[in-house]
Amino acid sequence: MTSLNTRPGRRFPLGATYETDGVNFSLFSRHATEVELLLYESIDALVPMARISLDPEYNRDFFFWNVFVQGAKPGMAYTWKADGPDDTSVSGFRFNRHRELLDPCARIVFERFWQREQAKTDAKAPPIRAVIPAPLDEYDWEGVKSPDIRPNESIIYEMHVKGFTRHPSSRVSNPGTFKGIIEKIPYLKKLGITHVELLPIMAFDEQDVPPGVRELGLKNYWGYSTHSFFSIHPAYFVNPYSTGCINEFRDMIKELHRAGIGIIMDVVFNHTAEGGEDGPVINFKGLSNREFYHLDPTDKRKYRDFTGCGNTVNCNHPQVTFFIVECLDYWINNFKIDGFRFDLASVMARGEDGNPMYHAPVIWSLEFCQTISSAGLIAEAWDAGGLYQVGGFPGYRWQEWNGRYRDAIRQFVRGDYGMVGETATRLTGSSDLYGPGGRHPFNSINFVTCHDGFTLNDLVSYSKKHNEANGEENRDGCNENYSCNYGAEGPTRDKAIQALRVRQAKNFMTLLFLSQGVPMLLFGDEVLRTQKGNNNCWCQDNELSWLNWELLNRNAEMLRFTREIIAFRKRHPALMRTHFLTGKKRSGMELPDITWHGTRLFAPPWDDPAARHLAFTLAGREDREEDIHVMINMEDTKEMEMELPSRAGGEWFLSVDTYRQTPHDIIRPEAQRPYAEDSYISKPRSVVVFERRKKS
């Protein structure tokens, strides 16, 4: 055992921080009575080189335990031990002086020895270790700044770091890693998106799966099982345990920013990998169990579960609120993160008693935090405990995943009756949800598909979920998907069904990018990626979830259409308004900002419960911007003659007709020709878009 010189450390920063002559270690645990630091000479050393007991008189400030260890350096690993009360059912504490604990603020983690099932029952099981990182300020950003993208101009591309390039067809040098994404930045730039939203990259437990899933050799792939909120998941690095591995992530961010693309992190502050009463003790349970989690008030051995994952983070306890704010501040200051999407964010609106509170401290702390004000905040505004806050999530700056948009558009395009009014409201930014609170259309994150559910291809190919491969007897995943197979379940050789499915996919894509609000696209939807009907691929780290890059050629028609409809949106500021449409003329405008129609002008079918069509005219915001006229016909077989507004002062040009074959389904401005008729035949299940260019 090596003897090292130590002295009292500093409370901040939390975790392990290297300085010229050693490392400062800081840990929070209010109720620990004894704390010990175990230092390993290398990440995979079997025994510690030093055990350092912290003296409460000299090494504790409030509930922070800290020590400075001379001679410690980057590349060494460390764990903590903590002793204290263990009357779990009464006090809620789970201290155990025999258990090695992972630093909750670890910057790099080593998990090769970790065995989740063993750790559930054996306090002496090998832990996940923290690794001392190299100094974070030793990185050259080369003057590259975060792109200046207004919220209303954002186009989000949700993707999984590994799934994006892991397939052999990606032909990148380092598939499934941050470096792999760098090689695909030209593809993202050409697609036209403005932000990538990465599924969880904070270090998570891949072994956190139910028994039936584990027996099939599957693992936690999506990453919604975080254990280290300041650390990056090792699997996404090429060299995961080098002291400079963090810079691989920074390299990706720098190159994305250089290409004008922002980065959003999906973060999981609603639960952790420690699970419920029968879950392992990794860090928080062994240090601050009573503060960090919602415990059953009648039996503190048990955890209140508003997440469906065994435990719930007590976000509005002052210590936890501090932890969350510090964490996000870390990612912004050191990695230039442009935004965060909060999984099951309604958990953050629950008070310490578990009940919803509008003035939740953590939510408003993020709303007003000066550092975090530079980043976007996106809420998945519901949780598994029944709290649904879409349109009512606390705060003004927060954007929301608009689940009502998803459901309405899916039903309308499928051909459900009675959806015309609801669809109109969703297309125009969901003013019913966001207007009364003084918010804006861009508070709505519009999406048709996301990681959780069917891909776009499967939405138009399957009427039921097919999750048998997950090992849970098809019980997992959402049962109501508002999907349709259009005549055959899954793959088919029927050319008519194939054509209809592609057309419906184009219809979804067109409506998404014609909607007020912020559009979000699931990776691979632009080339019709399939998961074979599985709508819950959280445990499928294989070709079922990976993007097959051969689809770029196989489904080139869809890829071209997606690129062009994104380009269409970008050249029309009228589709990216910062205020809600009123139906009135604004100063300097020839037309009302929006006018609704049916087959006849000015006669929208609001009162027709059987209507499955709608049309509207959107006025250009500036003299040089074209007006837009949209015709939507979701009848099964019925074509409709729909009137066009007057051409006075200009000409109408056909831009989009999803019924037409490529390349005539979407036409670039230079190839468009004036349309001389007063009406247009809208084919069944199609969306048609005209642009009116004013005469000079």
Which positions ≥6 away from 370 have C-beta within 8 Å? none
Rounded to the nearest 5°, which phi and psi values hold at 141?
Answer: -80, -5
Give the residue from 106, 96, 95, 29 showing the smallest Cα distance to 65: 29
In whole angstroms, give the CA distance from residue 233 to residue 201.
5
SS3 state at 134 = coil
In whole angstroms, give the CA distance from residue 347 to residue 345.
5
For residue 290, which amino acid is it? Answer: R
Asked if residue 304 lies in contact with residue 350, where contact means CB atoms within 8 angstroms, the answer is no
β-pairing, 34-40 with 50-54?
Answer: antiparallel
Catalytic residues: 343, 380
DSSP string, 302-350: SB--SSSSS--B-TTSHHHHHHHHHHHHHHHHHH---EEEETTGGGGGB
List the helix and strand counts (H, then E) for the chain. 17, 28
In whole angstroms, give the CA distance from residue 196 to residue 416.
32
Q: How far is CA 405 from CA 416, 447, 606, in A?
A: 15, 7, 18
Chain center to CA of 41: 37
- Reported as type and span, the H/E element at residue 215 is helix 211-215
Q: With 0-12 CB in 10 A as exposed, 13-18 as middle and 19+ as buried, what is 496?
A: exposed
Which positions ≥6 away from 443 have C-beta within 8 Å? 398, 399, 400, 434, 517
Which positions ≥6 away from 193 have C-beta within 8 Å? 155, 156, 157, 261, 521, 566
Give the residue from 155, 131, 185 showing the smallest Cα distance to 521: 155
Asked if residue 275 lies in contact with residue 117, where contact means CB atoms within 8 angstroms, the answer is no
Alpha helices by DSSP H, 549-641: 551-554, 556-570
Upper half-sphere CA count for residue 688 (Cβ side, 13 Å): 27
DSSP string, 13-57: SSEEEEETTEEEEEEE-TT-SEEEEEEESSTT-SS-SEEEEEPTT
In whole angstroms, give the CA distance from residue 563 to residue 576.
17
Neighbours of 673 (CB within 10 A): 9
In whole angstroms, give the CA distance from residue 180 to residue 93.
43
SS3 state at 226 = strand
